[in-house]
Chain A
Amino acid sequence: MKAELKELWRFRELLFAMVERELRIRYKNSALGFFWSLLNPLITVLVMTVVFKYVMNNDTPNFSAYILAAYLPYLFFQLTLLDASQSVLVALPVVKKVYFPREILPLASVFSNFIHFLLAILVFFAYLLVVYLLDPRISPFSWTILLLPALLLINFALAAGLSLIVSALNTFYEDVKYIVSVLLYLLFFLSPIMYFSETVLYSGGLGGRNQLIYFLYHLNPVAMLCTAYRKVLVPPQPVQVGENFYPALPLDWGLLGITAAMSLAALIGGYAMFNRMKWRFVERP
């Protein structure tokens, strides 16, 4: 793996060029450019907020900020995996004609989506500021924002590792991208995006095994990341479950540690797996 990493470093300029190209192509022929990628989460969150406030009658103040804080990372994860799953297959004609480290293809998808994600987070901060100016009772930032880089790093490792696996497998078995898109869809509901993770702990419908289920729930790294982003980016506030209000739980470092370890394992394991398969891409039967 050391030799592979050295080779990848030698070709870093190609990785940059590919990321730049991907960003350029995406918005080359559209007038609104980057704003399209913001419009999607903004509209989604707007609809979710309306449904929550008026249909489900949930009164959490500034609820859209809580949704955004978890939905943006989820969206990064989803778009990256879907992009990456196609990355090698689409580039196969080039791969058959020129040598370069093949892992550059999925990594370019990861990096370009990560850049989008970072820009979206900046817009999110601007949104928090606007909310604060309109309603000074809701303080926009807390010191926990300093933990954001660590979350981004874990998130990046997880997305990159899984992207390497998915792109390699999808090159041989094109069913993989359909499986991935179904799993991602399910992941949306199994992650605390439309609800708070505390809901899982205090829900009355889990037959008293709430502690265990809460733990298992957060073994899903995406769910844990969504919880962590939300706790780090927006100040916690009491959570409404049914008629009752419960205090927000602090960030669970043990669970976050498990997610970090899983993400690192995904990155190393994914890279090893990709390297084992990459020479057979061009010989795909």
Chain B
Amino acid sequence: MANDIALSVDGLRKQFLLSHSGAASLKTALLWWRRRKLEHFVALDGVNLQVGRGECVALVGRNGAGKSTLLSLISRIYRPTSGSIAVNGRIAPLLELGAGFHPDLTGVENVVFNGIILGLTRKQVQARMADIVRFAELEHHIDSPVRTYSSGMLARLGFAVAVHVDADILIVDEVLAVGDFAFEQKCYARIEDFRRSGGTILFVSHNMESVRQIADRCVWLRGGKVEMEGAPESVITAYQGDRSEVDL
């Protein structure tokens, strides 16, 4: 892969088994062995996408268009049915803030665990602890169990860890709508910093305002295929102008 490409997705296809055709207990598995008609759902159907180093690409499209599936595949949570994904650098997936936070552990303990899950070593997390806590504005609560936190506090702490893992590529799934207005501004400022230092971003958003604000390029997914890609303004205009894409 060329060195100026951060992420390359080639002919990516992903299909899932539909839940009503599955077997969740041994009984159904035994009863329906071989007779079972498996129903598949194609979430992504031959997607090609290249993201250059330092580029910020937005994914738009209706619910069920395959945006989150694409991000999950890139984050290695699913394995593609066919096609390939090549990644150049370290990924920080922000598919969910504070993934794996345990309610009974303190803020500090959870930061350590969350940081390690995102690929840091224990030492690296500890070196960044002060920065993370300051960024999350939780100096007075960081030693309390996180079950005492409000949802805004949890999201702030999760975001603070995620942006301190020094990734090359940030994968963001609609998670910036956290905390109050001031904190949201801080998140955008931080993402701006990340971009200026050469970081690559791939994000999903339903907020066209933020797509216009930070994306270099916009990709419109529809029914598991790339419908259109190009400059944000023209893609957004086409996306919003398409009658079948109007959210009811």
Residue A29 at the chain B interface, CB threshold 8 Å: yes
Which among A94, A174, A283, A284 has the greatest number of chain B C-beta atoms within 10 A? Answer: A283
Which A residues from 247 to 285 make CB contacts under 8 A with B? 279, 282-285
Q: How far is the CA of A17 from the CA of B21 in the complex (A)?
A: 38
Chain B nearest Cβ from A14, distance in angstroms: 5
Q: How far is the CA of A93 from the CA of B97 in the complex (A)?
A: 12
Using an 8 Å CB-CB cutoff, how does the interface string of A5-30 with B read, 1 for contact, 0 for none?
00000000110111001001100110
* Nearest residue, chain B, Cβ from A10: B119
* Nearest residue, chain B, Cβ from A94: B100
A98 engages B93 (CB within 8 Å): yes
B26 engages A100 (CB within 8 Å): no
Contacts A173-B26, A285-B24 given; does A98 touch B95 at CB 8 Å: yes
B104 engages A28 (CB within 8 Å): yes
Q: How far is the CA of A182 from the CA of B153 in the complex (A)?
A: 44
Residue B27 at the chain A interface, CB threshold 8 Å: yes
A97 engages B116 (CB within 8 Å): no
Which B residues from 69 to 104 make CB contacts under 8 A with A? 72, 75-79, 93, 95-96, 99-100, 102, 104
Contacts A175-B25, A175-B27, A285-B23 given; does A21 touch B78 at CB 8 Å: no
Residue A96 at the chain B interface, CB threshold 8 Å: yes
Contacts A98-B93, A283-B16, A285-B17 given; does A174 touch B24 at CB 8 Å: yes
Using an 8 Å CB-CB cutoff, how does the interface string of A87-106 with B read, 1 for contact, 0 for none?
00001011111111000000
Residue B121 at the chain A interface, CB threshold 8 Å: yes
- The contact of B25 among A18, A25, A174, A284, by CB within 8 Å, is A174
B24 engages A21 (CB within 8 Å): no
A283 engages B78 (CB within 8 Å): yes
Residue A172 at the chain B interface, CB threshold 8 Å: yes
Q: How far is the CA of A173 from the CA of B26 in the complex (A)?
A: 6
* Nearest residue, chain B, Cβ from A279: B79
Residue B208 at the chain A interface, CB threshold 8 Å: no
Interface residues of A (CB under 8 A from B): 13-14, 16-18, 21, 24-25, 28-29, 91, 93-100, 172-176, 279, 282-285
Interface residues of B (CB under 8 A from A): 16-19, 21-27, 29, 72, 75-79, 93, 95-96, 99-100, 102, 104-105, 109, 112-113, 116-118, 121-122
- Of the A-B pairs whose beta carbons lie under 8 Å apart in the complex, a sample of 21, sorted by A's number, is A14-B117, A17-B117, A17-B122, A21-B105, A24-B109, A25-B105, A94-B100, A97-B77, A97-B99, A98-B118, A99-B77, A99-B93, A173-B23, A173-B26, A174-B25, A175-B26, A175-B27, A282-B77, A283-B17, A285-B19, A285-B21
